[in-house]
Amino acid sequence: MTFPKDFLWGGATAANQFEGGYDQGGKGLSVPDLKTVGGVKLERRFTPTVEEGVYYPSHKAIDFYHHYKEDIKLFGEMNFNIFRMSISWSRIFPMGDELEPNEAGLAFYDDVIDELIKNGMTPLITLSHFELPMGIVENYNGFSDRRVIDLFVRYAETVMTRYKSKVKYWITFNEMNFGAMDHGELTVLGMNPNDETIYPNGAKTNEKVRFQALHNAMVASAKVVKLGHDINPDFMIGCMICHITSYPLTPKPEDVLKRKEFDLLFAKFVGDVQTRGVYPPYMTTYLEKKNIFPVFEPGDADILKAGTVDMYTFSYYMTICITTDENANETGGNLMGGKANPYLKASEWGWQVDPIGLEYTLLDLQDRYNMPLMVVENGLGFADELQADGTIVDDYRIDYMRDHIKAMDSAIEKGANLIGYTMWGPIDLVSAGTGEMKKRYGFIYVDMNNDGSGSLKRYKKKSFDWYKEVITSNGAVL
Ligand code: BGP
């Protein structure tokens, strides 16, 4: 057993996926408030007219807004010493661009943070987790407008100052690398993909605009890192990358090369900028060749350099295979064009389960960045069933987590500087990808269904006591 004695064990959430209370305490509308669920199909609307029921996911979610004391107590019971959450920008600045913050929104997070500390947890706060205020989308088209950089900085300064003595760990943007792909424009960058002024003729992908917006967001992130260090030099501020690890499907050199290119563009580019403070040469040439290299305003290069992160955090759920063979089998999870790996099994949602891939990823990241690493999302989405006697026997989840924790253990033994693990969704919450409630990750079951019906009652699953034991033994009892 190799976990260091101060290893951080806990769980991770995002405001819009579990808070509910979307219009309470003066909160403005944010992007996920306009998401709808219908079975497995997610649709987005851009008119902020609200029909109750249709917009179930982030409107009610699991109503953490009114259950936070009960929920935090349960996390404390499992001996979490860290809890990852996000602050909803539109609770603090309802339209995103007000001059003064909304006190009622801050008061809510004051209470949540105090409650976490009281129950033995250090908060890890994500400033932007797929939830830009709609005002920023509608009035600025997100980060495509440079003025949004300073709006984000104003919001970050407000909360970082308020919580400077209570919160040490921060993440600027969740899975920012999705901004480099053509479905990240709305979720990460806040640009309306239906807006003809930036996407003429209905074209969804205007790479030039998207990479400019991503550049602006990276500048905003770096400014906030620098500012955070001025507010409290002890802050540990991280990037957060969706690290979909990939393998070449075959040893064919064409597959190996294509896999390398995918890894650089999707999994490495944004993390490289945030950890090293410069665009990597492979990206500079790629963007210049396509004539889409972003405009650097005077000072941008210095800001990127001055705002490098203190830790590298990432989500890890699966691996995929890359090949030049277009006829190879899909994963079924439809993820980034990845192909199925004949050696791996996939979850019901097509995400290929690969614990050894986590060990590989940790060693790869340690080698590349040589800085503290944190796994801030990992877990198994499953359609758990509540039995008549109130139990949920989720042995599959225990197996999944045991294998991934063993992989972390082994990577630490081989030199990875892994400082913490916040598994995804310690309490069931709404799926970001599908808007469903049915895709559950938690140790705590919440009686809430896809159609918004349910008592919201909380039940401990079998994995609850298991994870508690893992934490109490610092990873020795698995
Ligand atoms: C990550 C997001 C999370 C979370 C997780 C699981 O990409 O950062 O917000 O939701 O994926 O995905 P899903 O909810 O689609 O199962």
User: Measured in angstroms, how far is the CA atom of residue 420 from the centroid of ligand 1?
Assistant: 19
Report which ligand 1 atom has the smallest distance to the Cα of 430: 14
Q: Which of 115, 131, 359, 377 is catalytic?
A: 377
Please check whether residue 146 is in contact with residue 196, taking contact to mean a CB–CB distance below 8 angstroms: no
pLDDT of residue 22: 93
Phi, psi (deg, nearest 5) at residue 217: -70, -35
How deeply is 71 buried, as exposed, middle or buried, from its count of CB atoms within 10 A (0-12, 13-18, 19+)? buried
**Residue-by-residue pLDDT tens, the chain, 478 positions:** 689 999 999 999 999 999 999 999 999 999 888 776 543 333 444 444 444 456 678 889 999 999 999 999 999 999 999 999 999 999 999 999 999 999 999 999 999 999 999 999 999 999 999 999 999 988 999 999 999 999 999 999 999 999 999 999 999 999 999 999 877 888 899 988 777 666 666 666 689 999 999 999 999 999 999 999 999 999 999 999 999 999 999 999 999 999 999 999 999 999 999 999 999 999 999 999 999 999 999 999 999 999 999 999 999 999 999 999 988 887 776 677 799 999 999 999 899 999 999 999 999 999 999 999 999 999 999 999 999 999 999 999 999 999 999 999 999 999 999 999 999 999 999 998 878 899 999 999 999 998 888 999 999 999 999 999 999 999 999 9
Report which ligand 1 atom has the smallest distance to the Cα of 434: 15
Please check whether residue 48 is in contact with residue 460, taking contact to mean a CB–CB distance below 8 angstroms: no
Q: Give the closest residue to 268 by CA, choosing from 367, 188, 340.
A: 367
Nearest residue (CA) to ligand 1, atom 2: 432
pLDDT of residue 127: 98
Nearest residue (CA) to ligand 1, atom 4: 432
User: Measured in angstroms, how far is the CA atom of residue 316 from the centroid of ligand 1?
Assistant: 10
CA-angle at 166, arms to 85 and 216, nearest 5°: 55
pLDDT of residue 52: 47
As a whole number of Å, the end-to-end CA separation of the chain is 10
Q: Give the closest residue to 443 by CA, choosing from 418, 424, 415, 416.
A: 424
User: Measured in angstroms, how far is the CA atom of residue 190 from the centroid of ligand 1?
Assistant: 17
Nearest residue (CA) to ligand 1, atom 9: 432
User: Measured in angstroms, how far is the CA atom of residue 243 from the centroid of ligand 1?
Assistant: 12
Please check whether residue 72 is in contact with residue 119, taking contact to mean a CB–CB distance below 8 angstroms: yes
Phi, psi (deg, nearest 5) at residue 278: -140, 155
Phi, psi (deg, nearest 5) at residue 162: -60, -40
User: Measured in angstroms, how far is the CA atom of residue 285 from the centroid of ligand 1?
Assistant: 31
Residues with CB under 6 A from ligand 1: 14, 17, 174-175, 242, 315, 377, 381, 424, 431-434, 439
Beta carbons within 8 Å of 189's beta carbon, 6+ residues apart: 142, 143, 144, 179, 210, 213, 214, 217
Out of 17, 348, 353, 377, mutate this one to test ligand 1's pocket (max ligand atoms within 8 Å of CB): namely 377
Out of 176, 424, 434, mutate this one to test ligand 1's pocket (max ligand atoms within 8 Å of CB): namely 424
Q: Which of 138, 175, 359, 436 is catalytic?
A: 175
Out of 431, 437, 441, mutate this one to test ligand 1's pocket (max ligand atoms within 8 Å of CB): namely 431
Nearest residue (CA) to ligand 1, atom 10: 432
The reported pTM is 0.96
pLDDT of residue 43: 42
- Specify whether 288 is catalytic: no
User: Measured in angstroms, how far is the CA atom of residue 251 from the centroid of ligand 1?
Assistant: 31
Q: Give the closest residue to 389 by CA, choosing from 463, 464, 466, 459.
A: 459
pLDDT of residue 177: 97
SS3 label, residue 124: strand
pLDDT of residue 434: 79
Nearest residue (CA) to ligand 1, atom 3: 432
User: Measured in angstroms, how far is the CA atom of residue 431 from the centroid of ligand 1?
Assistant: 6
Domain spans of the chain, in order of start = 8-472
CATH architecture, domain defined by 8-472: Alpha-Beta Barrel (3.20)
Report which ligand 1 atom has the smallest distance to the Cα of 14: 9
Helix axis angle for 462-472 and 395-413, nearest 10°, is 20
- Specify whether 175 is catalytic: yes
Separation between Cα atoms, residue 261 and residue 283, nearest integer Å: 10
Tokens of 276: 């090293």
Nearest residue (CA) to ligand 1, atom 16: 431
The interface pTM score, or ipTM, of the predicted complex is 0.98
pLDDT of residue 54: 60
What is the full DSSP assignment across 381-427? -B-----TTS----HHHHHHHHHHHHHHHHHHHTT--EEEEEEE-SB
